[in-house]
Amino acid sequence: MNLAQKKGSHTAQCKIVITSNQGVRGGRIFDLKSTVDNAVKSCPSVRHVFVAKRTNESMPMGKLDISLDEVMVGQSPVCAPEPMDSEEMLFMLYTSGSTGKPKGIVHTQAGYLLYASLTHQYVFDYTPGDVFGCVADIGWITGHSYVVYGPLCNGATSVLFESTPVYPNPGRYWETVQRLRINQFYGAPTAIRLLLKYEENWVKKYDRSSLKTLASVGEPINHEAWEWFHNVVGDGRCPLVDTWWQTETGGVCIAPLPAEPGAEIRPAMAMRPFFGIQPALLGEKGQIITGNDVSGALCISKPWPGMARTIFGDHQRFVDAYFKPYQGQYFTGDGAYRTEDGYYQITGRMDDVINISGHRLGTAEIEDALDEHPDVPETAVIGIPHEIKGEVPFAFVVLKESATENQRAVVEEMRHLVATKIAKYAVPDHFLVVKRLPKTRSGKIMRRILRKVAMQDTSNLGDISTLDDPSVVSEIIEAHKRYRSHAAKK
Ligand code: WTA
């Protein structure tokens, strides 16, 4: 099968859904099955829905539903492996880009598995017999590569963590480390930033002597979080590796190797490319930037085994998104700095993608959800820094004149739209209603201005002469002032 040219829609066209009746997380119960039922209504390709009983709550079973627990009873515990071509699809995972709908990133059998297992071994200093603890969601690429595929390829014991870092209390991770004797602990900076606000005793009272390697992923880790993770959790004795990679790269691409004799690890820096990865920094004119102490667009110059092969059903989009921006290079979407001694430090996204608690989200997706509201002709969403979550969405919203009286209700409805269409974490922290958005004469929203307004950094707005009507800027600044004073009173 040629994955890229598979005909039909660009969506997965899946036939089977496996779900639970309910989900349990952080002491809360939420309905999964009803969410799936709603989604399945618009997916005619789905023939069966297997439902596992995670809680005792009974669920009405529909036409397509099959109880997983009941059918499993009659199954053989042995499942013969199916030989596959090395380039057959292993899985697809949807991820956000700066434009359009999420992309179905395709990973294949041999290359991905090789890369996931090799990086699992070297980046985390895994040795046979270790208990590997990656606390990421399985539904995220981090969970795919380092809860499931990498550890299982290496015959490792892999921990499945279903809860949150603060349930039932902020000692949850470290109690789990003690109870399961975890050797490698892999988590996200957002959780570390949350935990470092609590008493150190929540860490110290548990035995963490089993820990060998600590690792971080998903967003830049700030110095304070790095130091706390290293010194408080790891007692300063475990290497802490900052691992940079993406859904598209399949596995870790830039990270220090902790087992290498004499290897230096610097705080808050991904540092060095993994075997076979050739990073390059590209300049605005598309030129390769050589030398050290320089910044640019982070690209990878040569293919590597774990790289995504295509976007499901839309190979042209794959080429356009990753290989068009810089000739002959894979473009990551991130910017990076190469230090004086040649180490890499990731500086953040260069496109309209934001990172909320490690969740990667195109601002266009949030805008799409908001724009579905009948009273909302136009919105612009940007990311602003947040102490714990890294970034949070800030929405600028234009309302129909008839709806301005009802602002509060419309905002509530927009929150609901984002929560149901995307996820709760995607709901903007701020909604600022404005009369219009700052647009260039060619109709492009000048997000730079919106960022400055949201950050209250309006002393130097840069060149606004290309705006269709520059007076919009003071209008938005005034609206933001009113919004802030209103929020302060609350
Ligand atoms: C960001 C997650 C800084 C980056 C595995 C990348 C990071 C995006 C780091 C991919 C890191 C991931 N330092 N930024 N160590 N790790 N990122 O696809 O912007 O969910 O492009 O994959 O997260 O997010 P994704």
> Which pLDDT score, from 0 to 100, does residue 5 have?
44
Which distant-in-sequence residues (6+ apart) come within 8 Å of 130 by Cβ? Answer: 156, 157, 183, 184, 212
> Which pLDDT score, from 0 to 100, does residue 4 have?
46
The DSSP secondary-structure symbol of 339 reads -
Closest to 223 measured CA to CA, from 174, 173, 266: 266
> Which pLDDT score, from 0 to 100, does residue 347 have?
86
To test the pocket of ligand 1, the residue of 322, 355, 363 to mutate (highest count of ligand atoms within 8 Å of its CB) is: 355
Given a cut of 90, whether residue 51 has pLDDT beyond it is yes
For the segment 343-394, what is each residue's pLDDT rounded down to a tens digit?
Answer: 999 988 888 889 999 898 988 889 989 988 999 988 999 999 999 999 999 9
Amino acid type, 265: I
Given a cut of 70, whether residue 9 has pLDDT beyond it is no
CA of 244 to the centre of ligand 1 (A): 6
To test the pocket of ligand 1, the residue of 92, 214, 246, 351 to mutate (highest count of ligand atoms within 8 Å of its CB) is: 246
For the segment 115-159, what is each residue's pLDDT rounded down to a tens digit?
Answer: 999 999 999 999 999 999 999 989 899 999 999 999 999 999 999
CA of 8 to the centre of ligand 1 (A): 31
2's enclosing H/E stretch is: none
Q: Per-residue pLDDT averaged across 242-262, rounded?
A: 94
To test the pocket of ligand 1, the residue of 106, 190, 214, 244 to mutate (highest count of ligand atoms within 8 Å of its CB) is: 244
Total Cβ atoms within 10 A of residue 127: 13
Alpha-carbon span 224 to 222, nearest angstrom: 6
CA of 355 to the centre of ligand 1 (A): 8
- Pick the residue with more confidence: 260 or 131? 131
Total Cβ atoms within 10 A of residue 40: 17
Beta bridge partner(s), residue 147: none
Whose C-alpha lies nearest to ligand 1, atom 14?
A: 219
> Which pLDDT score, from 0 to 100, does residue 10 have?
59
> Which pLDDT score, from 0 to 100, does residue 261 have?
82
Given a cut of 60, whether residue 282 has pLDDT beyond it is yes
Instruction: Please check whether residue 143 is in contact with residue 118, taking contact to mean a CB–CB distance below 8 angstroms.
Output: no
Tokens 């596959």, located at residue: 84
Structure token pair of residue 391: 């970034």
> Hey, is 131 helix, strand or coil?
strand
The DSSP secondary-structure symbol of 146 reads I
Structure token pair of residue 139: 């539904």
Instruction: Please check whether residue 3 is in contact with residue 104, taking contact to mean a CB–CB distance below 8 angstroms.
Output: no
> Which pLDDT score, from 0 to 100, does residue 405 have?
86
To test the pocket of ligand 1, the residue of 360, 363, 389, 391 to mutate (highest count of ligand atoms within 8 Å of its CB) is: 360
pTM for the whole structure: 0.86
> Which pLDDT score, from 0 to 100, does residue 8 have?
45
Alpha-carbon span 107 to 3, nearest angstrom: 10
Q: Per-residue pLDDT averaged across 232-239, rounded?
A: 97
Instruction: Please check whether residue 384 is in contact with residue 407, taking contact to mean a CB–CB distance below 8 angstroms.
Output: no
Closest ligand 1 atom to Cα of 247 = 18
pLDDT classification of 254: cutoffs 50, 70, 90: very high
Whose C-alpha lies nearest to ligand 1, atom 25?
A: 246
For the segment 415-424, what is each residue's pLDDT rounded down to a tens digit?
Answer: 999 999 899 9
Tokens 């690792």, located at residue: 215
Given a cut of 70, whether residue 30 has pLDDT beyond it is yes
Closest ligand 1 atom to Cα of 140 = 20
Residue 472 in contact with ligand 1 by CB distance below 6 A? no
Residue 359 in contact with ligand 1 by CB distance below 6 A? no
